[in-house]
Amino acid sequence: MALPLEGIRILDFTRYQQGPFATVMLGDMGAEVWKVEEPRGGDFGRRMWKEPDGFTGFFEALDRGKQSVCIDLRTNEGPAIALRLGELCDVVVENFRPGTLERWGLGYDAFRARNPRIIYAQASGWGQRGPMAEQPSFDQIAQAYSGYATHSGGGPGSRPEVSYPGIADQSGGMNLAFGIMTALFVRERTGIGQKVSVSLLGTQLALQSPEIVHALHFGWERPREFRASPTVGHYECSDGRWVMIVGIDQKFWPRIARALGVDELITDERFARGFPRWSNRAQLEPLLEARFLMQPAQHWLDRLREEDVPASLVREYADLADDEQAAANGYIVEYEHPRFGKEKTVGLHVELSETPGRLGSAAPLIGADTARVLEMARYSRDEVADLATRGVVALGSE
């Protein structure tokens, strides 16, 4: 059975996180990804979180399933090589600051002139226009500018929080992958190639669109408290672990009260309906907190399950390694890493029944594919050797 993106080839200039996660997703779906890296050290992501054993979870997660082609784009000859590779590709992806690739002669127009069907995808910090467009950005900048850090911290007046560094990049990558697939679909139907643009800022606003649409209409930000309500949030148990419950509509209230053994609260007029439960949360939450603290987490999870209340243990990453649910769906999979042996990793998260993707191979060694890819673009072995001698490209060392 063919892979969904069988035959689609991507010239990938992305670095760090936002762009690379998009091309991991496309690679898992079967696209061939040529990751262009600078010869001296390659993508900075190779050094992120690197531990003494040489393993970097950052690079493995964001660059698996790709091939590494080292070209120095700052040389006179480098850009011409990249353009020639672009003739063999369906998609170019990059996340430099707007204007950078253009200055190297590698803008959309340059690729389109040689390959009119090319899709040229840009992930930026700020979008392609506006006063900030050429400023640098990063994940945390987008979290700050978009209002995310403030809302996460508890809203205006609270201490802002970057509660999850990387969330803007990672969701930006998903959004970029969606944009590229939309453009590939259009091209398949109409033959039209085009430019696709997403940004950290645009994706952050989209992620928050319900809250922001509320604020744009009313002029005030909805409260962001520790719990969304007494019946939607997490409680500490006697063993120090926490249990999350989500009793989002009225039917769950009697079930929760029964599970906790506080049946008398079901009809208590302060708590019987959603609005008073919310207004009187300062009275109700301590009652529920006290109950949860009386038994260990598993006790309450069993009781909540019996009453059909959506609930979960609040878990740590250490709980994932042997998690049956994640494994059953291929979200955590085992594979053979050429250097580290048997490893577990985060697998595919989009399942297609008839043309499924498959886990890409381990992140490539730097420059491992330079020679082979250049030869596909009809550079002779001698030319490749010469370019390598002069430092325009770099070949992987075995």
> Closest CB to a copy of itself among 201 and 260?
201
* 118, amino acid identity: I
Residue 42 is a binding residue for a copy of itself (CB under 8 A): no
**Piece of 290-298, 342-350, 371-379, 387-395 that binds a copy of itself (CB under 8 A):** 342-350
> Judged by CB, which is closer to a copy of itself: 25, or 394?
25
Question: Distance between CA atoms of 93 and 66, rounded to whole angstroms?
Answer: 13
Pick the stretch among 32-40, 65-73, 206-214, 383-391 that binds a copy of itself (CB under 8 A).
206-214
Binders of a copy of itself in range 138-197 (CB under 8 A) = 138-141, 143-153, 155-156, 159-167, 170-171, 174-175, 177-179, 181-186, 188-190, 192-197
Residue 66 found at the interface with a copy of itself (CB under 8 A): no
385: which residues sit within 8 A by CB, 6+ positions away?
none
The count of chain residues that interact with a copy of itself, using the rule CB under 8 A, is 146
Backbone torsion region of residue 341, taken as left when φ is above 0, otherwise alpha when ψ lies between -120 and 50, otherwise beta: left
Q: Judged by CB under 8 A, which of 18, 23, 68, 203 binds a copy of itself? A: 203
Distance set, CA 268 to CA 95, 127, 254, 256, 388 (Å): 57, 52, 11, 14, 79
Between the alpha carbon of residue 343 and those of residues 13, 323, 347, 395, the distances in Å are: 27, 15, 12, 27
Residue 46 touches a copy of itself, criterion: CB under 8 A: no
Residue 98 or 367 with smaller CB distance to a copy of itself: 98
* Cα distances (angstroms) measured from residue 39 to each of 47, 83, 339: 14, 17, 21
Provide the edge-to-edge strand list for the sheet that holds 242-246.
232-236, 242-246, 311-313
62 binds a copy of itself (CB under 8 A): yes
Q: Minimal distance in Å, beta carbon 388 to a copy of itself? A: 27
Task: Identify which of 123, 212, 120 has the alpha carbon closest to the alpha carbon of residue 170.
Answer: 123
Does position 254 interact with a copy of itself (CB under 8 A)? The reply is: no
CB of 380 to a copy of itself, least distance (A): 34
Hey, what long-range contacts does 126-129 have (CB within 8 A, 24 or more apart)?
126/199, 126/200, 126/201, 127/197, 127/199, 127/201, 127/202, 128/98, 128/197, 128/199
By DSSP bridging, strand 311-313 and strand 242-246 are: antiparallel
310 binds a copy of itself (CB under 8 A): yes
Angle between helices 209-218 and 200-207 (to 10 degrees): 80
Among 88, 215, 359, 377, binds a copy of itself (CB under 8 A): 215
Q: Is 290 in the site for a copy of itself (CB under 8 A)?
A: no
* Alpha-carbon gap, residue 348 to 357, rounded angstroms: 8
Q: Which one of 65-73, 244-252, 287-295, 367-375 is the stretch in contact with a copy of itself (CB under 8 A)?
A: 244-252
Q: Which of 262, 326, 359, 365 binds a copy of itself (CB under 8 A)?
A: 326
Q: Which is nearer to a copy of itself, 49 or 380 (CB)?
A: 49
Candidates 83-91, 346-354, 371-379, 383-391: pick the segment binding a copy of itself (CB under 8 A).
Answer: 346-354
Binding flag, residue 304, a copy of itself (CB under 8 A): no
Site string for a copy of itself, 84-123 (x = CB under 8 A): ------------------------x---------------
Helix 252-260 with 297-306: angle, nearest 10 deg: 140
